Amino acid sequence: MANDINTAILERLERVVETLQENNVKMGQMLAVHNEKLSKQDEVDQVLFEKIDRLHSDLNKDTEAIKRGCERDIRLIDDRLRTMEKKMWTIAGALSLIAFLVSVPGQMVIRNLTNQNKTGMLPAVESPAWITSMTNTSDFSALD
């Protein structure tokens, strides 16, 4: 009986050792698979990081291009607004001038500027007929 118990204990210990060995082998296989998965994940991560870096640089390039385009458009719009503003002020000035010229004070200024009856010369002096040729130095008709 003691021999049977020892045999039973030994068989049980052998089964435990075999089970431990099987578990050890399985654990080694699982660790190998796990390491392989980690290696693949590292490769995938590296590829993803490279793609992210590429996308980041592309995004920065596109952002700069968009920024330059927007700045160019803003300058063009600003130039157009300045041109329109100049035209607006020119038209406003022309309308103000026309309104002044059409008004009563403007008509007076135009009349004063265009009055052709006034000349810069003195009116001619008529010489009386009783002046003799001796006293009249400007009338050469007496010498005839």
Identify whether 137 is part of a domain.
no
Encoded amino acid at 114, one letter: T
Return the pLDDT at 58: 94
Q: How many other CB atoms are there within 10 angstroms of residue 70's CB atom?
A: 10
Identify whether 134 is part of a domain.
no
Identify whether 46 is part of a domain.
yes
Query: Which phi and psi (to 5°) does residue 143 adopt?
Result: -80, -15
Average pLDDT, the chain: 85
The number of distinct structural domains making up the chain is 1
Identify whether 135 is part of a domain.
no
Identify whether 133 is part of a domain.
no
Identify whether 116 is part of a domain.
no
pLDDT tens digits, residue range 75-104? 999 999 999 999 999 999 999 999 998 999
Query: In the chain, where does DSSP find H-type helix?
Result: 2-102, 104-114
Domain span holding position 57:
2-109
* Distance of alpha carbon 77 from alpha carbon 83, whole angstroms: 10
Identify whether 121 is part of a domain.
no
* Distance of alpha carbon 113 from alpha carbon 99, whole angstroms: 18
